[in-house]
Amino acid sequence: MANLITDIQAQKRNRNRVNIYLGGQYAFSLDRMAAAWLTVGRTLSDEDITRLQEKDEFQTALNRAMHFLSFRARSQQELQAYLNKKGYEAALIEHVIARLKEEKLVDDLDFAQNWLDNRQRFRPRSQSLMKLELRQKGVAEPEIEQALQFSNLDDFELALNAGRKLSRRYHKLDKFEFNRKLGAALQRRGFSYGIVRECLQLLWKERSEPTGVEQ
């Protein structure tokens, strides 16, 4: 019979895939998960083969998506763009994302909260700039606003935190150059002129406290 499974062999270069032989001839390859129920001697209908190949494509796309997520959290739009670039059809991408949502591996609100927390701790910037970054990641406005509300951020505190990190670069400068360079750096982080000016006064005072004398 043409559709009789005569052999199932693990691929040498990818142990997570197997080659299926029908009637003594190589027919197609499958992900191990998709092929788990197959045994030598089983006969497959044409419909069985179609379903197996569809399941294999889904499993392969899912594996790729999970590998992509293993490096860092991603927004839904980032994941869609990645899978689309890999050549998967829109319906399959939707199916993969639905599965990942069920498993809580894709959640734009959680992504936004983690993004804000990471920025706050490592690269502080204004709320307006962080909102822009999240929009560019494809996060919808309601999720952005909810994440900001949950994070309870304050632009002055963010600017002060950023200024303290950045001011280490300028510790040898006089007051004019300190304010000029640090002020420009804070404005590039999206902070308003008023907040920057207020922060600079406090940051210069903190820097001058060890000697008690301004330069």
Q: Is the pTM of this model over 0.75?
A: yes
* Angle value at C-alpha 136, between 125 and 59, nearest 5 degrees: 120
Per-residue pLDDT at 1 exceeds 80 = no
Q: For the chain, how many helices (H) and strands (E)?
A: 9, 3
Reported as a single tens digit per residue, the pLDDT across 16-62 is: 899 999 998 999 999 888 888 899 999 999 999 999 999 999 999 99
Show me where the domains of the chain are located.
1-44, 108-151, 155-208
Average per-residue pLDDT for the chain? 91
Per-residue pLDDT at 185 exceeds 90 = yes
State residue 83's pLDDT score: 97
Q: Is the dihedral of CA 129, 134, 136, 141 positive or negative?
A: negative
CATH number for region 108-151: 1.10.10
Tally of CB atoms within 10 A around 128? 12
CA distance 137 to 196: 27
User: Quick one: angle between helices 76-85 and 90-102, nearest 10?
Assistant: 140
Segment 124-146 mean pLDDT: 95
Closest alpha carbon to 197 in 173, 215, 185, 179: 179
Protein fold of 155-208: Arc Repressor Mutant, subunit A (1.10.10)
Per-residue pLDDT at 108 exceeds 90 = yes
The answer to whether 108-151 and 155-208 have equal CATH topology is: yes
CA distance 2 to 27: 10
